[in-house]
Structure 1
Amino acid sequence: MKDEKENGFFSWLGSKIKKNKEKIEKKNDCVSSHTSANKDKKYIDANKKINIKQNIFTEKQDITDVKIEQISDNYDNLDKIQNKKINFFIRLKKSLKKTKKFLGEGLANIFLSKKVDDILFKELEEKMLLADIGINTTNQIISNLIQDTNRQDLKNSEKVYALLKKNMYGILKKVEKPLQISNNMPFIILVVGVNGTGKTTTVAKLAQKYKLEGKSVFLAAADTFRAAGIEQLQTLGKLNNIPVISQRSGSDPAALVFDAVQSAKSKKIDVLIIDTAGRLHNKLHLIEELKKIVRVIKKIDPLAPHEKILIVDACNGQNTIQQTEIFHRALDLTGIIITKLDGTAKGGVIFALSDQFKIPIRYIGIGEKIQDLGTFNSQEFIKALFN
């Protein structure tokens, strides 16, 4: 009996110990699990923080890369613009070779080791007249130079020569006003001039220039007087992928211009350039036809045409003065483009045009390629001519 009680007691005790052991193990497992979970949580949280920091760093790096890329692009653009200016100046200097030999070097030779007196000014006057600067402008330049020389009591011919260049630069500086394309849509440019000045070719160069600047361009072949003029502009437009509106030869140019303006307006074109027939400036009925074109344009847009440009050929010398006078009286010109400066010794006419009319010189042409049409810069022109 006693043995049975002892066996029952030990059985109960073993069972109790076993249960307590299981509870302890279970508790330890829970603690271990909780600790592990905490460790995992801390590890995950730490990783999150690291990832967040890495993401922030990456975003900052991306932003920095973008900024660096933008700055790099800006510098590249600046370099391209600067190189373009430098390249044009080099070509300008070469293109003015004939004019420079006749005018720049010719004037410089007058001042070499000479006394500042009436004889010097007389020689200077003759040289300037031969360089197609024109009698009125020449007289004004000489008169101003004599006054400045006397007032400053200059005896050194080199200083007088420097003063001459400064005065001539002052004449050109007044007309240095680059063409600004406004937000008017379309911005309408009416191009006029006599036959043979390179008008249609210049229209194509302008169109390509504005297209390269990111503007949408439309051309109107209003030179309906000659079929060759229409075909020439159509060919140039096709080569540069620029749309051209035209009609058959002999049709009314004013009617074509009306259609062109309406079409450009509906298509929200940025720039519309109108090429007109080469007008003989002494044919008044042809000038009246140009006035009619302007009136038709104003019916659609009272502020248009926004630019009325005259194309003149530097090779024509003083004849450009008469052309400018008649066209300006008829149309109130807002700009001038001087072409073919590379093929003449008469580039001095630019001083006469600038002095007498005060019309902004928008561009100058020094060759056949698009890059040979450059924005007029008075300082560069003087430097290319005299240095």
Structure 2
Amino acid sequence: MFDFFRKKPKPETPAAPAPDATPQPTPPLVEPEVAAAVEPGAPVQWLPAETPAPEAEAAPTLIMPSPDAVGEMPTLVVAQPQDKPKLSWSERLKAGLARTRDTLGKNLAGLFGGGKIDEDLYEELETVLLTADMGVDATTQLLKDVRNRVSLRGLKDASELRVALKEALLELIQPLENPLVIDANSPKPFVLMVAGVNGAGKTTSIGKLAKYYQSQGLSVLLAAGDTFRAAAREQLVVWGERNGVQVIAQESGDAAAVAFDAVNAAKARKVDVIIVDTAGRLPTQLHLMDEIRKVKRVVQKADPSAPHEVMLVLDANTGQNAVSQVKAFDDALGLTGLVLTKLDGTAKGGVIAAIAKQRPVPVRFVGVGETIDDLRPFTAKDYVDALFE
């Protein structure tokens, strides 16, 4: 009866097999879906893919190993991003004006598709031009010019109207083509004063201008005179570092003092070009516009012949409001040139025609992108071709 309390022997557990002295290959570092497609025990090699994924810079890419790679340790190789082919300036301009061209071109395609030239066609053409933000005055002149060309040439078919309109537009904006050339005959230092409302791309344009004139072998100095907007000075300093350009700035003080010191520094260092940034102002803020006038007066004290260029930066997205800005800043400062930015983000590129008719200040540069090379001298023919082609 005591057999029940006796300790029963445990069943014997089979002994574990001795470990194999042969080293096992390292498990592949792959996703389960990829690992399932690989022969068990085979390593996976990391090599650059033939075509890297877009927007992925220096990303490792997985491909299957060759039979000769069995037994080798996995290798991680960083795929180098492929350089995108660079577009010419005319191609970038056409791409930048795509929205304006779509607005203008799609509507004109219906007009120039065929049929006869009559008053109904002229009315439709007027609507299309106004939609492209060319303004009433410019539209009226263009229609008058087109009518004269149709009459003189005896045009009958609507498809012939396209060439007449293109010629009329080119003739209207051609006087705005007047590139700013700074060479050995220019004053030294050449003082370029830049104004514009907040958000127009003024500081960014200054950085691009610095790069542009540097590429011509000129030495450039920047003056961080936008002491009103937060971080404007730091932003200009960053542009200066990118281009290897010295920036004159002050922790505190007004824009006029910065401009005065910068002009004197440019003289002492024998710099070719000095670009003076000013605080962004709305043309309706009269007391703030007075401060920009003060900057100009102080610059003239440092150099009686300066500023040699007073440039206004315009955002093309503002449309007809850009014309109002040109008038206000021109009345206050006496503008000598314009920079039209952000043409790649608007359907209102026709505002150049409005400027040409109402306040024909030369358009020195146009910008169609964010890269440092996307600011180029304005060429009327290239601009018109980009709108119609």
TM-score tier, shorter chain, comes to 0.7 to 0.9
1:90 aligns with 2:91: yes
Identity of aligned residues (%): 46
Q: Report the CA distance between 1:360 and its aligned residue.
A: 0.9
- Measure, in 2, the Cα distance between the counterparts of 1:305 and 1:193: 16
Structure 2 match to 1:215: 218
Secondary structure of the 1:383 match is: helix
Please tell me whether the aligned partners of residues 88 and 371 of structure 1 are also in contact (alpha carbons under 8 angstroms).
no
Secondary structure of the 2:339 match is: strand
- Measure, in 1, the Cα distance between the counterparts of 2:368 and 2:311: 18
Structure 1 match to 2:368: 366
Structure 2 match to 1:225: 228
Question: Gaps (5+ residues) in structure 2?
Answer: 1-84
Secondary structure of the 1:248 match is: coil
Q: Report the CA distance between 1:259 and its aligned residue.
A: 0.7
Q: Identify the match of residue 323 of structure 1 among 317, 325, 343.
A: 325
Matches within 5 A, 1:241-280: 241-249=244-252, 251-280=253-282
Query: Deviation digits for residues 76-121 of structure 1, max 9, x if unmatched?
Result: xxxxxxx99x711111111111110001332232121121000000
Structure 1 match to 2:157: 156
1:143 aligns with 2:144: yes
- Measure, in 2, the Cα distance between the counterparts of 1:108 and 1:162: 13
**C-alpha root-mean-square deviation of aligned residues, in Å?**
1.5
Please tell me whether the aligned partners of residues 216 and 269 of structure 1 are also in contact (alpha carbons under 8 angstroms).
yes
Please tell me whether the aligned partners of residues 89 and 384 of structure 1 are also in contact (alpha carbons under 8 angstroms).
yes
Please tell me whether the aligned partners of residues 111 and 120 of structure 1 are also in contact (alpha carbons under 8 angstroms).
no
Q: Which has the larger radius of gyration?
A: 1
Please tell me whether the aligned partners of residues 229 and 280 of structure 2 are also in contact (alpha carbons under 8 angstroms).
no
- Measure, in 1, the Cα distance between the counterparts of 2:108 and 2:302: 51
Structure 2 match to 1:386: 388
Please tell me whether the aligned partners of residues 312 and 336 of structure 1 are also in contact (alpha carbons under 8 angstroms).
yes
1:201 aligns with 2:204: yes
Answer 1 or 2: which has greater helix percent: 1
Question: Runs of at least 4 residues of structure 1 off by over 3 A?
Answer: none
Structure 2 match to 1:33: none
| TM-score normalised according to structure 2 size | 0.75
Matches within 5 A, 1:21-100: 87-100=88-101
Structure 2 match to 1:352: 354
- Measure, in 2, the Cα distance between the counterparts of 1:148 and 1:89: 28
Query: Deviation digits for residues 166-204 of structure 1, max 9, x if unmatched?
Result: 000111211111101143111010000001011000000
Secondary structure of the 2:314 match is: strand
Structure 1 match to 2:304: 302
Code of the aligned partner of 2:311: I
Please tell me whether the aligned partners of residues 114 and 120 of structure 1 are also in contact (alpha carbons under 8 angstroms).
no
Structure 1 match to 2:128: 127
Please tell me whether the aligned partners of residues 222 and 247 of structure 2 are also in contact (alpha carbons under 8 angstroms).
yes
Number of residue equivalences: 303
- Measure, in 2, the Cα distance between the counterparts of 1:263 and 1:202: 22
